[in-house]
Amino acid sequence: MTHVNANRSKIKKYRACAVQKTAQALQESFPEDRMGESLFLKDPHRLLEDWLSAGWRVIAPLLRDGALVPDILHDPEELPRGVTDRQSPGSYRLEPGASTRWFEAVVGPQGWKRWLHPPERKLWSARRDAAGFEVTPEAEEWPATIFFAVRPCDLAAIARQQEVFRRAGDPAYAARRAATRIVAVNCGRSAETCFCASMQTGPRAQAGYDLALTEIADGLLLEIGSEDGTALLDARALPAATDAQVREAARLIEAAAASQTRAMPPDIAERLTEVADSPRWEQVASRCLHCTNCTAVCPTCFCTDVTDRTSLDGAMAERWQRWDSCFSPDFSYLHGGPLRRRAAARYRQWMTHKLSNWHTQFGSSGCTGCGRCITWCPVGIDLVAEARALAKGE
Amino acid sequence: MDTPRIAVWKFASCDGCQLSLLDCEEELLDLVGAVHIAHFLEASSRVEGGPYDISFVEGSITTAADAERIEAIRAASRLLVTIGACATAGGIQALRNSRALGDLVQAVYPAPDLIKVLETSTPISEHVTVDAELRGCPVSRHQLLEFVAAALAGRKPDLPDVSQCAECKRAGTVCVMVAHGTPCLGPVTRAGCGNLCPRVGRGCYGCFGPVDGANCAALSEQMRKLGLDTTAIAALYRNFNSGAAAFVEEAARHD
């Protein structure tokens, strides 16, 4: 996201001078002059129509099997409106919400991970020939893509996973990410399982977006976060938001933060290094199904396994990569057996890597506070409650 | 491995797993091109003697005669691979293992004296050494082909060791238990079926049997919170894999 970093100073400058300009003057200026300013639009349809007709692949949270799941949008009418979610440990329900609202329901079972970091992909194939065999790397199609309605926690998760794959030198991830634009949505509501405020990732998107939307009573505020974002719209056609609308948006985001009932202890990274022998690990393991759901729904978990397939006639071979999980026994299999035989050891590995060792390895927490591991744990194990108990020495 | 000689054997079972081999359709010609089928009564009446490179065994051991027959098959086979829930866990017929056999025979058959069976229905592994187990009711034809392809290439077969949940998540299936409150054995069941039930909104029936270290007690506690009584919880585990140790134990806890 170097293009965004390079734009930071520019954003500040435009914010500083924007108040002195009239809306008329802004409409006559170049689009990039409006970076960082709040613009107003009535609804998202026009934007989506423009992008679809310009040939972008738009991926947005759509209604799938009773949940909101990022999928390919073919028609702006597919964007759900008037739904909200009720989330608690081990439970998720979509319900009717305020009929006029587009973005009342927050994060669903999947982040954007399954798009940027696919669950299964072929790495290469090989064909036997007279001289030996010939290896063909898998070519991947990744059309110019817009991720629409990315929540701040997921925006942070994309940045963290991007850092993991940058260090790993994964060109496929880099290519997907480079051809993807991100339209964030700031949260005006939190689910019961959200704790982004305590992870400093939300409910307002900080960096890494090309455009950001905030829903208010009579429409949407739009901010441009990058030159790529500028290129996505004809900003001159959009009026500036009024001061009252900007204040309303800020108030909604603050209220969403204030409503969060879960908070990760701020010193959790250090505390977890001191509690390796806590009886709490066995206690949580007695409830843990080691079913791998938490790692699959976590937007930053990145581990994969590699497996080979061969044809019956022995002429073809393929190497595949697929999601793996530190909760599966085979994950830590070395000669003689798995290194982490006990479920307690596997839970400890996951939590300490996510909340503590990620800092030393990648320079940030591996958790962005999206709350998916809490909601989508089939037995409702609460990461925050476990972390708090461990931090207190329980 | 040079063209291996394959045998397919049937014990107490419904034939569904053997049919999965014939269901290979598109791959069937490749399969018969790669292996020599020496004994497969469901496919051909031509029968050849052993030894066999790979014996696929369907069904559980329910009679004294079958207990002897499996010994002979083991002795004639280089690799013995069980296919399906009957051969790996005793099958649906293992439901009788927790009841008095005499009472069941009296209740079912008009001439109980004609029935000569063992007290229990047991998996092949309780009788002879098994080299690999392919799970499922029925077994996945993809796994059958994978096993043969791996054996031919001399590599380890790629057989899932994770729960059904991992398969759901890779497929993008929304969790039926969390999103709808539908009881599901997925978290304690081995992956491999191809995500058949959850992807159409149904809970997992556990056809592929318990995953290693399955924490059934924790799952049952969640079932109770979802409103299931002890009878319903026990019934979940008493199905195609009712004879698998983890399911036997968990069902008994709810009697």
Tell whether A109 is within 8 A of chain B (Cβ).
Answer: yes
Residue of chain B whose Cα is closest to the Cα of A379: B222
Q: What number is the average pLDDT over the span A235-240?
A: 82
Burial label for A25, CB within 10 Å (0-12, 13-18, 19+), is: exposed
pTM of the model: 0.92
- Is B145 in contact with A312 (Cβ distance < 8 A)? yes
Give domain limits for chain A: 2-119+140-258, 268-304+324-391
Fold that domain B5-153 belongs to in CATH:
Rossmann fold (3.40.50)
Nearest to A310 among B149, B218, B222 (CB): B149
Share of chain B above pLDDT 70, in %: 100
Q: Each residue of B11-45: pLDDT tens digit? A: 999 999 999 999 888 888 899 899 999 999 999 99
Q: To which residue do tokens 């991970």 refer?
A: A113
Q: What sign has the CA pseudo-torsion B106, B107, B108, B110? A: positive
Count of residues in chain B: 255
Tell whether A121 is within 8 A of chain B (Cβ).
Answer: no
Tell whether A293 is within 8 A of chain B (Cβ).
Answer: yes
Tell whether B155 is within 8 A of chain A (Cβ).
Answer: yes
Q: Each residue of B107-137: pLDDT tens digit? A: 999 999 999 999 999 999 999 999 999 999 9
- Is B30 in contact with A293 (Cβ distance < 8 A)? no
**Closest C-alpha among A213, A217, A195 to residue A205:** A213
Contact residues, A window 67-86, toward B, CB-based 8 Å cutoff = 67, 69
Residue B84 pLDDT greater than 50, yes or no: yes
Q: Chain A: nearest CA to B164, how far in angstroms?
A: 8
Q: Distance (Å, rounded) from C-alpha B57 to C-alpha B45? A: 17
- Is A66 in contact with B181 (Cβ distance < 8 A)? no
pLDDT at B26: 87
Domain with CATH 3.40.50.700 in chain B: 5-153
Residue A102 half-sphere exposure toward CB, CA atoms < 13 A = 25
Tokens of A177: 């990410």
**Beta-sheet strand order (sheet of A304-310):** A132-137, A120-129, A316-323, A304-310
**Beta-sheet strand order (sheet of B52-58):** B36-40, B5-10, B52-58, B77-83, B132-134
Q: Distance (Å, rounded) from C-alpha A284 to C-alpha A346? A: 11
Q: Distance (Å, rounded) from C-alpha B241 to C-alpha B238? A: 7
Beta strands in A211-332 (DSSP E): 211-216, 219-224, 304-310, 316-323
Residue A9 pLDDT greater than 80, yes or no: no
CA dihedral (A35, A37, A41, A46) in degrees, to 10, reads 0
B193 Cβ neighbours under 8 A, 6+ residues apart: B136, B140, B164, B167, B207, B208
Q: Distance (Å, rounded) from C-alpha B83 to C-alpha B206? A: 16
Q: What number is the average pLDDT over the span B229-254?
A: 96
Helix (H) or strand (E) holding A282: helix A280-287
Residue A82 pLDDT greater than 60, yes or no: yes
Lowest pLDDT segment from A55-59, A66-70, A222-226, A333-337: A333-337
Q: Chain B: nearest CA to A249, how far in angstroms?
A: 30
- Is B222 in contact with A66 (Cβ distance < 8 A)? no
Report ipTM (2 d.p.): 0.94
Nearest to B218 among A289, A308, A311 (CB): A289
pLDDT at B1: 59
- Is B187 in contact with A66 (Cβ distance < 8 A)? no
CB A164 within 8 A of CB A368: no
- Is B149 in contact with A343 (Cβ distance < 8 A)? no
Q: Distance (Å, rounded) from C-alpha B198 to C-alpha B195? A: 6
CB A311 within 8 A of CB A318: no
Contact residues, A window 48-67, toward B, CB-based 8 Å cutoff = 64-67
> To the nearest whole number, what is the mean pLDDT of chain B?
95
